[in-house]
Chain A
Amino acid sequence: MNAVITLARKEVREAVNSTWLIAYAVLFTLLALGLSYLGERNLGSVGFENFSRTTASLLNLCLLLAPLAALTLGSGAIAGDRERGTLTYLLSQPLDRWELLIGKYLGLAASIALATTLGFGVAGVVIALQTSAMDLGTYLLFLALVLALIVVMTGIGLALSVVSKSRVQALGLAMLVWFVVAFVFDLVLIGMVSATSMHGGGLLAALLLNPIEIVRVLAIIQLEPDLQILGPFGSYLLERVGRTNATVILSAALLMWMALPVTVAAWLFESRED
Protein backbone atom coordinates (compact mmCIF):
# COMPACT_ATOMS: atom_id res chain seq x y z
CA MET A 1 0.00 0.00 0.00
CA ASN A 2 3.01 2.27 0.60
CA ALA A 3 3.85 2.07 -3.08
CA VAL A 4 0.32 3.16 -4.05
CA ILE A 5 0.56 6.24 -1.82
CA THR A 6 4.07 7.05 -3.05
CA LEU A 7 2.99 6.83 -6.69
CA ALA A 8 -0.18 8.85 -6.08
CA ARG A 9 1.80 11.55 -4.28
CA LYS A 10 4.25 11.74 -7.17
CA GLU A 11 1.40 12.17 -9.68
CA VAL A 12 -0.08 15.00 -7.59
CA ARG A 13 3.36 16.63 -7.16
CA GLU A 14 3.98 16.50 -10.91
CA ALA A 15 0.51 17.89 -11.60
CA VAL A 16 0.96 20.78 -9.15
CA ASN A 17 4.25 21.65 -10.83
CA SER A 18 2.74 21.59 -14.29
CA THR A 19 0.95 24.50 -15.94
CA TRP A 20 -2.10 22.50 -16.95
CA LEU A 21 -3.44 22.25 -13.42
CA ILE A 22 -3.26 26.00 -12.88
CA ALA A 23 -4.74 26.68 -16.33
CA TYR A 24 -7.57 24.23 -15.66
CA ALA A 25 -8.34 25.75 -12.23
CA VAL A 26 -8.29 29.30 -13.63
CA LEU A 27 -10.58 28.25 -16.50
CA PHE A 28 -13.10 26.75 -14.10
CA THR A 29 -13.01 29.81 -11.85
CA LEU A 30 -13.54 32.19 -14.75
CA LEU A 31 -16.38 30.08 -16.13
CA ALA A 32 -18.13 29.90 -12.76
CA LEU A 33 -17.85 33.66 -12.27
CA GLY A 34 -18.58 34.51 -15.88
CA LEU A 35 -21.67 32.32 -16.18
CA SER A 36 -23.11 33.67 -12.97
CA TYR A 37 -22.52 37.29 -13.99
CA LEU A 38 -23.79 36.90 -17.53
CA GLY A 39 -26.84 34.92 -16.42
CA GLU A 40 -28.03 37.80 -14.28
CA ARG A 41 -27.39 40.32 -17.04
CA ASN A 42 -29.63 38.34 -19.38
CA LEU A 43 -32.42 38.73 -16.83
CA GLY A 44 -32.06 42.50 -16.95
CA SER A 45 -29.98 43.40 -13.93
CA VAL A 46 -26.24 43.14 -14.11
CA GLY A 47 -24.72 41.40 -11.08
CA PHE A 48 -24.01 38.00 -9.60
CA GLU A 49 -26.63 35.29 -9.39
CA ASN A 50 -27.10 33.04 -6.39
CA PHE A 51 -25.66 29.56 -6.11
CA SER A 52 -28.63 27.57 -7.42
CA ARG A 53 -28.82 29.47 -10.69
CA THR A 54 -25.05 29.41 -11.05
CA THR A 55 -24.88 25.68 -10.54
CA ALA A 56 -27.67 25.16 -13.05
CA SER A 57 -25.83 27.30 -15.59
CA LEU A 58 -22.57 25.52 -14.98
CA LEU A 59 -24.06 22.04 -15.21
CA ASN A 60 -23.89 21.57 -18.96
CA LEU A 61 -20.51 23.20 -19.25
CA CYS A 62 -19.03 21.03 -16.50
CA LEU A 63 -20.46 17.88 -18.03
CA LEU A 64 -18.42 18.70 -21.11
CA LEU A 65 -15.18 20.01 -19.63
CA ALA A 66 -14.58 17.77 -16.61
CA PRO A 67 -14.86 14.48 -18.57
CA LEU A 68 -12.62 15.90 -21.30
CA ALA A 69 -9.88 16.83 -18.80
CA ALA A 70 -10.13 13.52 -16.93
CA LEU A 71 -10.22 11.34 -20.06
CA THR A 72 -7.30 13.19 -21.64
CA LEU A 73 -5.07 13.03 -18.59
CA GLY A 74 -6.02 9.46 -17.73
CA SER A 75 -5.24 8.33 -21.26
CA GLY A 76 -1.72 9.76 -21.08
CA ALA A 77 -0.72 7.95 -17.89
CA ILE A 78 0.42 4.41 -18.76
CA ALA A 79 0.79 5.06 -22.50
CA GLY A 80 3.04 8.04 -21.74
CA ASP A 81 5.24 6.00 -19.41
CA ARG A 82 5.43 3.24 -21.99
CA GLU A 83 6.49 5.72 -24.67
CA ARG A 84 9.11 7.42 -22.46
CA GLY A 85 10.54 4.07 -21.37
CA THR A 86 9.71 4.72 -17.72
CA LEU A 87 7.12 1.95 -17.47
CA THR A 88 9.62 -0.92 -17.39
CA TYR A 89 11.69 1.04 -14.89
CA LEU A 90 8.71 1.53 -12.59
CA LEU A 91 7.72 -2.11 -12.96
CA SER A 92 11.29 -3.14 -12.07
CA GLN A 93 10.69 -1.78 -8.57
CA PRO A 94 9.31 -4.05 -5.85
CA LEU A 95 5.64 -3.37 -6.51
CA ASP A 96 2.75 -5.19 -8.14
CA ARG A 97 1.24 -4.02 -11.40
CA TRP A 98 -2.04 -3.18 -9.75
CA GLU A 99 -0.22 -0.98 -7.25
CA LEU A 100 1.33 1.02 -10.07
CA LEU A 101 -2.02 1.42 -11.81
CA ILE A 102 -4.01 2.33 -8.70
CA GLY A 103 -1.31 4.74 -7.54
CA LYS A 104 -1.41 6.59 -10.83
CA TYR A 105 -5.20 6.49 -10.91
CA LEU A 106 -5.58 7.98 -7.44
CA GLY A 107 -2.93 10.60 -8.10
CA LEU A 108 -4.45 11.71 -11.40
CA ALA A 109 -8.01 11.77 -10.09
CA ALA A 110 -6.88 13.72 -7.02
CA SER A 111 -5.01 16.23 -9.19
CA ILE A 112 -8.00 16.96 -11.43
CA ALA A 113 -10.33 17.00 -8.44
CA LEU A 114 -8.00 19.45 -6.70
CA ALA A 115 -7.97 21.80 -9.67
CA THR A 116 -11.76 21.59 -10.03
CA THR A 117 -12.37 22.18 -6.33
CA LEU A 118 -9.97 25.11 -6.36
CA GLY A 119 -11.76 26.69 -9.32
CA PHE A 120 -15.20 26.19 -7.85
CA GLY A 121 -14.04 27.20 -4.39
CA VAL A 122 -12.76 30.60 -5.53
CA ALA A 123 -15.91 31.19 -7.55
CA GLY A 124 -18.07 30.09 -4.61
CA VAL A 125 -16.43 32.56 -2.22
CA VAL A 126 -16.78 35.44 -4.71
CA ILE A 127 -20.44 34.65 -5.41
CA ALA A 128 -21.18 34.24 -1.69
CA LEU A 129 -19.75 37.69 -1.04
CA GLN A 130 -21.79 39.26 -3.85
CA THR A 131 -25.20 37.68 -3.31
CA SER A 132 -27.55 37.55 -0.36
CA ALA A 133 -29.35 34.35 -1.32
CA MET A 134 -27.07 31.40 -0.58
CA ASP A 135 -27.59 27.77 -1.44
CA LEU A 136 -24.24 26.42 -0.45
CA GLY A 137 -25.50 22.87 0.05
CA THR A 138 -26.62 22.57 -3.55
CA TYR A 139 -23.37 24.09 -4.75
CA LEU A 140 -21.30 21.57 -2.78
CA LEU A 141 -23.51 18.70 -3.89
CA PHE A 142 -23.00 19.72 -7.48
CA LEU A 143 -19.24 19.88 -6.92
CA ALA A 144 -19.35 16.37 -5.42
CA LEU A 145 -21.17 15.07 -8.50
CA VAL A 146 -18.60 16.63 -10.81
CA LEU A 147 -15.78 15.09 -8.74
CA ALA A 148 -17.47 11.68 -8.98
CA LEU A 149 -17.65 12.11 -12.75
CA ILE A 150 -13.94 12.99 -12.78
CA VAL A 151 -13.15 9.74 -10.94
CA VAL A 152 -15.19 7.74 -13.47
CA MET A 153 -13.64 9.39 -16.50
CA THR A 154 -10.08 9.13 -15.15
CA GLY A 155 -10.67 5.38 -14.81
CA ILE A 156 -11.93 5.12 -18.38
CA GLY A 157 -8.95 7.17 -19.60
CA LEU A 158 -6.58 4.88 -17.73
CA ALA A 159 -8.17 1.77 -19.26
CA LEU A 160 -7.69 3.32 -22.72
CA SER A 161 -4.10 4.11 -21.81
CA VAL A 162 -3.43 0.49 -20.86
CA VAL A 163 -4.67 -0.93 -24.18
CA SER A 164 -3.08 1.72 -26.40
CA LYS A 165 0.26 1.24 -28.11
CA SER A 166 1.13 4.93 -28.04
CA ARG A 167 0.15 8.14 -26.30
CA VAL A 168 -1.34 9.50 -29.52
CA GLN A 169 -3.51 6.41 -29.94
CA ALA A 170 -4.66 6.69 -26.31
CA LEU A 171 -5.48 10.37 -26.77
CA GLY A 172 -7.40 9.61 -29.97
CA LEU A 173 -9.45 6.93 -28.22
CA ALA A 174 -10.09 9.28 -25.29
CA MET A 175 -11.38 12.01 -27.61
CA LEU A 176 -13.60 9.47 -29.37
CA VAL A 177 -15.08 8.26 -26.08
CA TRP A 178 -15.63 11.86 -24.96
CA PHE A 179 -17.37 12.72 -28.21
CA VAL A 180 -19.62 9.68 -27.91
CA VAL A 181 -20.61 10.15 -24.26
CA ALA A 182 -20.93 13.93 -24.48
CA PHE A 183 -22.70 14.31 -27.83
CA VAL A 184 -23.50 11.15 -29.79
CA PHE A 185 -25.19 9.33 -26.90
CA ASP A 186 -27.79 12.10 -26.50
CA LEU A 187 -28.54 12.15 -30.21
CA VAL A 188 -28.89 8.38 -30.39
CA LEU A 189 -31.17 8.41 -27.37
CA ILE A 190 -33.37 11.14 -28.84
CA GLY A 191 -33.53 9.20 -32.08
CA MET A 192 -34.46 5.98 -30.31
CA VAL A 193 -37.16 7.67 -28.25
CA SER A 194 -38.62 9.23 -31.40
CA ALA A 195 -38.42 6.10 -33.50
CA THR A 196 -39.54 3.55 -30.91
CA SER A 197 -41.95 3.41 -28.07
CA MET A 198 -39.10 3.60 -25.54
CA HIS A 199 -40.23 5.49 -22.46
CA GLY A 200 -39.79 5.53 -18.72
CA GLY A 201 -38.00 2.36 -17.64
CA GLY A 202 -36.22 1.83 -20.94
CA LEU A 203 -34.98 5.39 -20.96
CA LEU A 204 -33.78 5.14 -17.37
CA ALA A 205 -31.91 1.91 -18.18
CA ALA A 206 -30.32 3.55 -21.22
CA LEU A 207 -29.21 6.55 -19.18
CA LEU A 208 -27.37 4.28 -16.77
CA LEU A 209 -25.02 3.38 -19.63
CA ASN A 210 -23.62 6.91 -19.72
CA PRO A 211 -22.02 8.36 -16.55
CA ILE A 212 -22.45 11.92 -17.85
CA GLU A 213 -26.21 11.41 -18.12
CA ILE A 214 -26.32 9.84 -14.67
CA VAL A 215 -24.65 12.92 -13.18
CA ARG A 216 -26.86 15.24 -15.22
CA VAL A 217 -30.09 13.61 -14.02
CA LEU A 218 -28.82 13.37 -10.44
CA ALA A 219 -27.98 17.08 -10.46
CA ILE A 220 -31.37 17.98 -11.93
CA ILE A 221 -33.16 15.87 -9.32
CA GLN A 222 -31.37 17.90 -6.63
CA LEU A 223 -31.79 21.28 -8.33
CA GLU A 224 -35.32 21.12 -9.74
CA PRO A 225 -38.27 20.34 -7.45
CA ASP A 226 -40.69 19.32 -10.22
CA LEU A 227 -38.25 17.87 -12.80
CA GLN A 228 -40.12 19.71 -15.56
CA ILE A 229 -36.88 20.20 -17.43
CA LEU A 230 -36.83 16.42 -18.06
CA GLY A 231 -40.28 16.44 -19.68
CA PRO A 232 -42.29 13.20 -19.58
CA PHE A 233 -39.23 11.37 -18.25
CA GLY A 234 -39.27 13.72 -15.23
CA SER A 235 -42.89 12.84 -14.60
CA TYR A 236 -42.05 9.15 -14.88
CA LEU A 237 -39.25 9.53 -12.32
CA LEU A 238 -41.44 11.43 -9.87
CA GLU A 239 -44.63 9.40 -10.22
CA ARG A 240 -43.48 5.86 -10.99
CA VAL A 241 -39.99 5.59 -9.51
CA GLY A 242 -40.02 8.28 -6.83
CA ARG A 243 -37.37 10.92 -6.21
CA THR A 244 -35.59 8.91 -3.49
CA ASN A 245 -35.58 5.66 -5.42
CA ALA A 246 -34.33 7.43 -8.55
CA THR A 247 -31.53 9.02 -6.52
CA VAL A 248 -30.56 5.63 -5.07
CA ILE A 249 -30.61 3.90 -8.49
CA LEU A 250 -28.56 6.63 -10.15
CA SER A 251 -26.10 6.88 -7.26
CA ALA A 252 -25.59 3.12 -7.27
CA ALA A 253 -24.95 3.22 -11.02
CA LEU A 254 -22.49 6.06 -10.53
CA LEU A 255 -20.63 4.08 -7.85
CA MET A 256 -20.54 1.11 -10.19
CA TRP A 257 -19.08 3.34 -12.90
CA MET A 258 -16.45 4.60 -10.43
CA ALA A 259 -15.30 1.03 -9.75
CA LEU A 260 -15.72 -0.67 -13.14
CA PRO A 261 -13.26 1.12 -15.48
CA VAL A 262 -10.32 1.02 -13.08
CA THR A 263 -11.03 -2.65 -12.32
CA VAL A 264 -11.03 -3.43 -16.04
CA ALA A 265 -7.86 -1.35 -16.47
CA ALA A 266 -6.10 -3.29 -13.67
CA TRP A 267 -7.18 -6.61 -15.19
CA LEU A 268 -5.96 -5.61 -18.66
CA PHE A 269 -2.69 -4.21 -17.29
CA GLU A 270 -1.99 -7.48 -15.49
CA SER A 271 -1.89 -9.37 -18.78
CA ARG A 272 0.09 -6.80 -20.77
CA GLU A 273 3.58 -7.57 -22.10
CA ASP A 274 5.06 -4.18 -21.14
Chain B
Amino acid sequence: MEAPLASVRHAVSVRHLSKSYGSTRVLDDVSFDVRPGTCVALLGGNGAGKTTTLKCLLGVVPFQGDIEVEGVPVQSRGKDARRQIGYVPQIPAVGEQDTCSDALSFIAELRSVGADRVGWALRMADLTAQARMKVGELSGGMRQRLALAAALLSDPPVLLLDEPASSLDAQSRRELHEMIARLRGEGRTIILSTHVLDHLERLADQLLILDRGRLAFDGSVGELSSRVRGNRLVVNLNGNSPRDFMQALLVAGIGAERVTSAGLPWEEMLLAASTSDPATQEERS
Protein backbone atom coordinates (compact mmCIF):
# COMPACT_ATOMS: atom_id res chain seq x y z
CA MET B 1 0.00 0.00 0.00
CA GLU B 2 1.26 3.48 -0.89
CA ALA B 3 1.86 5.95 1.92
CA PRO B 4 -0.79 8.68 2.00
CA LEU B 5 0.09 12.32 1.39
CA ALA B 6 -0.79 13.51 4.87
CA SER B 7 -2.03 12.05 8.12
CA VAL B 8 -5.26 10.23 7.25
CA ARG B 9 -8.26 10.74 9.43
CA HIS B 10 -10.77 9.58 6.86
CA ALA B 11 -10.46 6.81 4.33
CA VAL B 12 -12.51 8.91 1.93
CA SER B 13 -13.19 12.62 2.18
CA VAL B 14 -15.54 14.41 -0.22
CA ARG B 15 -15.95 18.20 -0.19
CA HIS B 16 -18.46 20.19 -2.26
CA LEU B 17 -18.61 17.58 -5.01
CA SER B 18 -20.61 18.75 -8.00
CA LYS B 19 -20.90 17.19 -11.41
CA SER B 20 -22.86 18.14 -14.51
CA TYR B 21 -23.33 16.34 -17.80
CA GLY B 22 -24.00 19.15 -20.23
CA SER B 23 -26.72 21.28 -18.65
CA THR B 24 -27.91 18.47 -16.35
CA ARG B 25 -26.71 18.76 -12.75
CA VAL B 26 -26.14 15.20 -11.56
CA LEU B 27 -24.39 15.96 -8.24
CA ASP B 28 -24.88 19.18 -6.34
CA ASP B 29 -22.51 20.20 -3.52
CA VAL B 30 -22.16 16.78 -1.93
CA SER B 31 -19.85 16.48 1.08
CA PHE B 32 -19.21 13.49 3.33
CA ASP B 33 -16.46 11.60 5.12
CA VAL B 34 -15.94 7.88 5.50
CA ARG B 35 -14.06 6.49 8.47
CA PRO B 36 -11.47 3.77 7.80
CA GLY B 37 -12.71 0.22 8.22
CA THR B 38 -16.39 1.06 7.91
CA CYS B 39 -19.03 0.01 5.42
CA VAL B 40 -21.01 2.84 3.84
CA ALA B 41 -24.21 2.28 1.88
CA LEU B 42 -24.84 4.83 -0.85
CA LEU B 43 -28.58 4.85 -1.39
CA GLY B 44 -30.96 6.54 -3.75
CA GLY B 45 -33.33 5.91 -6.60
CA ASN B 46 -32.46 5.74 -10.26
CA GLY B 47 -30.76 8.95 -11.38
CA ALA B 48 -29.97 10.00 -7.81
CA GLY B 49 -26.25 10.19 -8.63
CA LYS B 50 -24.89 7.02 -7.01
CA THR B 51 -22.88 5.73 -9.98
CA THR B 52 -21.64 9.22 -10.81
CA THR B 53 -20.42 9.59 -7.21
CA LEU B 54 -18.44 6.37 -7.58
CA LYS B 55 -17.02 7.52 -10.93
CA CYS B 56 -15.90 10.75 -9.28
CA LEU B 57 -14.29 8.82 -6.41
CA LEU B 58 -12.41 6.80 -9.02
CA GLY B 59 -11.44 9.96 -10.89
CA VAL B 60 -12.63 8.61 -14.24
CA VAL B 61 -14.76 11.70 -14.90
CA PRO B 62 -13.88 15.36 -14.29
CA PHE B 63 -15.74 17.02 -11.40
CA GLN B 64 -15.88 20.12 -9.24
CA GLY B 65 -14.91 19.98 -5.58
CA ASP B 66 -12.30 17.93 -3.72
CA ILE B 67 -12.02 14.22 -3.10
CA GLU B 68 -9.30 12.46 -1.18
CA VAL B 69 -8.94 8.70 -0.95
CA GLU B 70 -6.58 7.58 1.80
CA GLY B 71 -5.21 11.13 1.76
CA VAL B 72 -4.49 11.09 -1.98
CA PRO B 73 -6.24 13.87 -3.95
CA VAL B 74 -8.21 12.26 -6.79
CA GLN B 75 -8.21 15.25 -9.11
CA SER B 76 -4.47 15.83 -9.23
CA ARG B 77 -3.26 12.27 -8.57
CA GLY B 78 -6.00 10.09 -9.99
CA LYS B 79 -3.72 7.20 -10.85
CA ASP B 80 -2.28 7.07 -7.33
CA ALA B 81 -5.76 7.38 -5.81
CA ARG B 82 -6.95 4.45 -7.92
CA ARG B 83 -4.17 2.32 -6.46
CA GLN B 84 -5.99 2.69 -3.14
CA ILE B 85 -9.29 1.50 -4.60
CA GLY B 86 -10.69 -1.82 -5.71
CA TYR B 87 -13.75 -1.33 -7.91
CA VAL B 88 -16.54 -3.82 -8.55
CA PRO B 89 -18.80 -2.60 -11.36
CA GLN B 90 -22.52 -3.23 -11.62
CA ILE B 91 -21.97 -5.55 -14.58
CA PRO B 92 -18.80 -7.56 -14.03
CA ALA B 93 -16.69 -6.21 -16.88
CA VAL B 94 -13.99 -8.72 -17.58
CA GLY B 95 -13.48 -10.44 -20.93
CA GLU B 96 -16.18 -13.01 -21.68
CA GLN B 97 -13.75 -15.15 -23.65
CA ASP B 98 -11.01 -15.05 -21.01
CA THR B 99 -10.66 -17.81 -18.46
CA CYS B 100 -11.07 -16.76 -14.83
CA SER B 101 -7.35 -17.21 -14.35
CA ASP B 102 -6.46 -15.09 -17.41
CA ALA B 103 -8.93 -12.36 -16.42
CA LEU B 104 -7.36 -12.10 -12.98
CA SER B 105 -3.83 -12.26 -14.41
CA PHE B 106 -4.65 -9.31 -16.67
CA ILE B 107 -5.83 -7.17 -13.75
CA ALA B 108 -2.87 -8.35 -11.67
CA GLU B 109 -0.50 -7.14 -14.41
CA LEU B 110 -2.28 -3.79 -14.66
CA ARG B 111 -1.92 -3.37 -10.91
CA SER B 112 1.68 -4.62 -10.88
CA VAL B 113 0.77 -7.48 -8.59
CA GLY B 114 2.67 -10.78 -8.49
CA ALA B 115 1.15 -13.82 -10.24
CA ASP B 116 0.90 -15.64 -6.88
CA ARG B 117 -1.97 -13.32 -5.95
CA VAL B 118 -4.08 -14.80 -8.74
CA GLY B 119 -4.19 -18.16 -6.97
CA TRP B 120 -5.00 -16.42 -3.70
CA ALA B 121 -7.82 -14.45 -5.35
CA LEU B 122 -9.31 -17.59 -6.89
CA ARG B 123 -9.27 -19.32 -3.51
CA MET B 124 -10.70 -16.28 -1.77
CA ALA B 125 -13.59 -16.16 -4.26
CA ASP B 126 -14.03 -19.95 -4.07
CA LEU B 127 -13.40 -20.19 -7.80
CA THR B 128 -10.34 -22.46 -7.85
CA ALA B 129 -12.31 -25.21 -9.60
CA GLN B 130 -13.44 -22.69 -12.24
CA ALA B 131 -9.95 -21.29 -12.92
CA ARG B 132 -9.89 -22.62 -16.52
CA MET B 133 -13.56 -21.83 -17.20
CA LYS B 134 -14.40 -18.92 -19.45
CA VAL B 135 -15.88 -15.90 -17.70
CA GLY B 136 -18.89 -16.02 -20.04
CA GLU B 137 -19.73 -19.50 -18.76
CA LEU B 138 -19.93 -18.45 -15.09
CA SER B 139 -23.18 -17.87 -13.21
CA GLY B 140 -24.08 -14.35 -12.10
CA GLY B 141 -22.98 -15.04 -8.54
CA MET B 142 -19.65 -16.51 -9.66
CA ARG B 143 -18.98 -13.54 -11.95
CA GLN B 144 -19.68 -11.17 -9.10
CA ARG B 145 -17.25 -13.09 -6.89
CA LEU B 146 -14.67 -13.00 -9.66
CA ALA B 147 -15.09 -9.22 -9.97
CA LEU B 148 -14.66 -8.89 -6.22
CA ALA B 149 -11.56 -11.11 -6.35
CA ALA B 150 -10.14 -8.88 -9.12
CA ALA B 151 -10.81 -5.81 -7.00
CA LEU B 152 -8.93 -7.36 -4.07
CA LEU B 153 -5.87 -8.49 -6.05
CA SER B 154 -3.70 -5.57 -5.00
CA ASP B 155 -5.07 -5.58 -1.45
CA PRO B 156 -6.50 -2.02 -1.67
CA PRO B 157 -7.69 -0.37 1.55
CA VAL B 158 -10.90 0.95 -0.08
CA LEU B 159 -13.50 -1.01 -2.01
CA LEU B 160 -16.19 0.56 -4.21
CA LEU B 161 -19.09 -1.70 -5.14
CA ASP B 162 -21.63 -0.44 -7.65
CA GLU B 163 -24.99 -2.19 -7.20
CA PRO B 164 -23.23 -5.52 -6.69
CA ALA B 165 -26.37 -7.42 -5.72
CA SER B 166 -28.75 -6.05 -8.33
CA SER B 167 -28.60 -9.03 -10.68
CA LEU B 168 -28.15 -11.76 -8.09
CA ASP B 169 -30.61 -14.30 -6.73
CA ALA B 170 -31.34 -14.47 -3.01
CA GLN B 171 -28.71 -17.13 -2.28
CA SER B 172 -25.94 -15.32 -4.21
CA ARG B 173 -26.95 -12.06 -2.53
CA ARG B 174 -26.61 -13.66 0.90
CA GLU B 175 -23.16 -14.98 -0.02
CA LEU B 176 -22.13 -11.56 -1.28
CA HIS B 177 -23.32 -9.90 1.92
CA GLU B 178 -21.37 -12.41 3.98
CA MET B 179 -18.26 -11.68 1.93
CA ILE B 180 -18.71 -7.91 2.37
CA ALA B 181 -19.15 -8.38 6.12
CA ARG B 182 -15.95 -10.45 6.20
CA LEU B 183 -14.02 -7.78 4.27
CA ARG B 184 -15.24 -5.08 6.61
CA GLY B 185 -14.13 -7.28 9.51
CA GLU B 186 -10.64 -7.30 7.97
CA GLY B 187 -10.54 -3.52 8.32
CA ARG B 188 -11.26 -2.58 4.74
CA THR B 189 -13.33 0.51 3.95
CA ILE B 190 -16.30 -0.35 1.77
CA ILE B 191 -18.58 2.00 -0.13
CA LEU B 192 -21.57 0.14 -1.47
CA SER B 193 -23.95 1.72 -3.94
CA THR B 194 -27.29 -0.04 -3.80
CA HIS B 195 -31.03 0.16 -3.99
CA VAL B 196 -31.44 -3.35 -2.54
CA LEU B 197 -31.87 -2.65 1.14
CA ASP B 198 -32.17 -6.06 2.76
CA HIS B 199 -29.53 -6.81 5.41
CA LEU B 200 -28.39 -3.20 5.21
CA GLU B 201 -28.95 -2.59 8.90
CA ARG B 202 -26.38 -5.33 9.65
CA LEU B 203 -23.90 -4.42 6.91
CA ALA B 204 -23.74 -0.63 6.86
CA ASP B 205 -22.17 1.54 9.56
CA GLN B 206 -23.14 4.67 7.68
CA LEU B 207 -25.89 5.53 5.21
CA LEU B 208 -25.58 8.20 2.54
CA ILE B 209 -28.86 8.94 0.82
CA LEU B 210 -28.77 10.83 -2.43
CA ASP B 211 -31.86 12.50 -3.77
CA ARG B 212 -31.64 14.06 -7.23
CA GLY B 213 -27.94 14.76 -6.83
CA ARG B 214 -28.10 16.21 -3.32
CA LEU B 215 -27.09 14.46 -0.12
CA ALA B 216 -30.37 14.02 1.76
CA PHE B 217 -29.03 12.02 4.69
CA ASP B 218 -25.65 11.14 6.21
CA GLY B 219 -25.74 9.02 9.34
CA SER B 220 -26.27 5.56 10.79
CA VAL B 221 -29.28 3.30 10.30
CA GLY B 222 -30.30 4.07 13.88
CA GLU B 223 -30.19 7.82 13.26
CA LEU B 224 -32.29 7.42 10.14
CA SER B 225 -34.86 5.34 12.02
CA SER B 226 -35.18 7.93 14.80
CA ARG B 227 -35.45 10.77 12.30
CA VAL B 228 -38.18 9.06 10.34
CA ARG B 229 -40.16 7.90 13.37
CA GLY B 230 -41.51 11.38 14.04
CA ASN B 231 -42.37 12.01 10.41
CA ARG B 232 -44.20 8.87 9.56
CA LEU B 233 -47.20 9.31 7.33
CA VAL B 234 -50.27 7.17 7.78
CA VAL B 235 -52.75 7.19 4.95
CA ASN B 236 -56.06 5.42 4.69
CA LEU B 237 -56.59 4.82 1.04
CA ASN B 238 -60.23 3.81 1.44
CA GLY B 239 -59.84 1.05 -1.08
CA ASN B 240 -58.02 3.17 -3.65
CA SER B 241 -54.78 1.89 -5.12
CA PRO B 242 -51.60 3.71 -4.07
CA ARG B 243 -51.05 4.69 -7.71
CA ASP B 244 -54.50 6.36 -7.91
CA PHE B 245 -53.90 8.11 -4.62
CA MET B 246 -50.52 9.45 -5.79
CA GLN B 247 -52.18 10.71 -8.95
CA ALA B 248 -54.81 12.47 -6.87
CA LEU B 249 -52.12 14.12 -4.74
CA LEU B 250 -50.27 15.27 -7.81
CA VAL B 251 -53.44 16.79 -9.24
CA ALA B 252 -53.89 18.59 -5.93
CA GLY B 253 -50.34 19.92 -6.18
CA ILE B 254 -49.17 18.15 -3.03
CA GLY B 255 -46.64 15.81 -4.60
CA ALA B 256 -46.52 12.07 -4.35
CA GLU B 257 -42.99 11.36 -3.23
CA ARG B 258 -44.05 10.89 0.40
CA VAL B 259 -46.62 8.26 -0.33
CA THR B 260 -45.77 4.60 0.10
CA SER B 261 -48.11 1.68 0.23
CA ALA B 262 -48.48 -0.10 3.56
CA GLY B 263 -47.19 -3.30 1.99
CA LEU B 264 -43.73 -1.89 1.26
CA PRO B 265 -40.72 -3.12 3.26
CA TRP B 266 -39.73 -0.85 6.14
CA GLU B 267 -36.46 0.08 4.44
CA GLU B 268 -38.20 1.56 1.43
CA MET B 269 -40.60 3.39 3.74
CA LEU B 270 -37.57 4.88 5.51
CA LEU B 271 -35.94 5.83 2.26
CA ALA B 272 -39.05 7.51 0.90
CA ALA B 273 -39.66 9.40 4.12
CA SER B 274 -36.05 10.43 4.67
CA THR B 275 -35.75 12.11 1.29
CA SER B 276 -38.78 14.35 1.87
CA ASP B 277 -38.73 17.65 3.70
CA PRO B 278 -39.83 17.09 7.34
CA ALA B 279 -41.10 20.66 7.63
CA THR B 280 -43.85 20.03 5.14
CA GLN B 281 -44.85 16.59 6.35
CA GLU B 282 -48.52 16.14 7.02
CA GLU B 283 -50.36 13.39 8.72
CA ARG B 284 -53.35 12.12 6.81
CA SER B 285 -55.83 9.53 7.83
B79 at the interface (CB under 8 A from A): yes
> Which A residues from 1 to 47 make CB contacts under 8 A with B?
2-3, 6-7, 10, 14, 17
CB within 8 Å for A274 and B82 given contacts A6-B110, A84-B93: no
Chain B neighbourhood of A84, CB < 8 A? 93
A232 at the interface (CB under 8 A from B): no
* B93-A93 in contact (CB<8A): no
Chain A neighbourhood of B78, CB < 8 A? 96
A94 at the interface (CB under 8 A from B): yes
CB closest residue in chain A, given B78: A96
* A96-B79 in contact (CB<8A): yes
The interface on chain A, measured as residues whose beta carbon lies within 8 A of the other chain's beta carbons, has a size of 21
Chain B neighbourhood of A86, CB < 8 A? 93-95
A256 at the interface (CB under 8 A from B): no
Contact of A95 among B55, B79, B95, B106 (CB under 8 A): B79
Inter-chain CA distance A247–B85, complex, in Å, is: 52
* B58-A91 in contact (CB<8A): yes
* B87-A89 in contact (CB<8A): yes
A60 at the interface (CB under 8 A from B): no
* A94-B61 in contact (CB<8A): no
* B91-A85 in contact (CB<8A): yes
> Which A residues from 44 to 96 make CB contacts under 8 A with B?
84-86, 88-96
Chain B neighbourhood of A93, CB < 8 A? 82, 107, 110-111
CB closest residue in chain B, given A13: B102
The 8 A CB mask of A209-234 against B (1 = contact, 0 = none) is: 00000000000000000000000000
* A94-B110 in contact (CB<8A): yes
* A274-B110 in contact (CB<8A): no
Q: Is the interface of A mostly helix, strand, loop or mixed?
A: helix
Inter-chain CA distance A95–B107, complex, in Å, is: 11
CB closest residue in chain A, given B60: A91
CB within 8 Å for A88 and B112 given contacts A14-B97, A94-B80: no
Q: Which of A3, A86, A89 has the largest count of B CB atoms less than 10 A from its CB?
A: A89
CB distance from A269 to the nearest CB of B (A): 12
Chain A neighbourhood of B110, CB < 8 A? 3, 6-7, 93-95
B83 at the interface (CB under 8 A from A): yes
Which residues of A are at the interface with B, using a C-beta cutoff of 8 A? 2-3, 6-7, 10, 14, 17, 84-86, 88-96, 273-274
Given A2-B112, A10-B95, 5 more A-B residue pairs with CB atoms under 8 Å apart are: A86-B94, A88-B55, A91-B58, A93-B82, A95-B79
Query: What are 28 A-B interface contacts by the 8 Å CB criterion?
Result: A2-B109, A2-B112, A3-B110, A6-B106, A6-B109, A10-B106, A14-B95, A85-B89, A86-B95, A88-B60, A88-B93, A89-B87, A89-B89, A91-B60, A92-B58, A92-B60, A92-B85, A92-B89, A93-B82, A93-B110, A94-B80, A94-B82, A94-B83, A94-B111, A95-B79, A273-B21, A273-B62, A274-B61
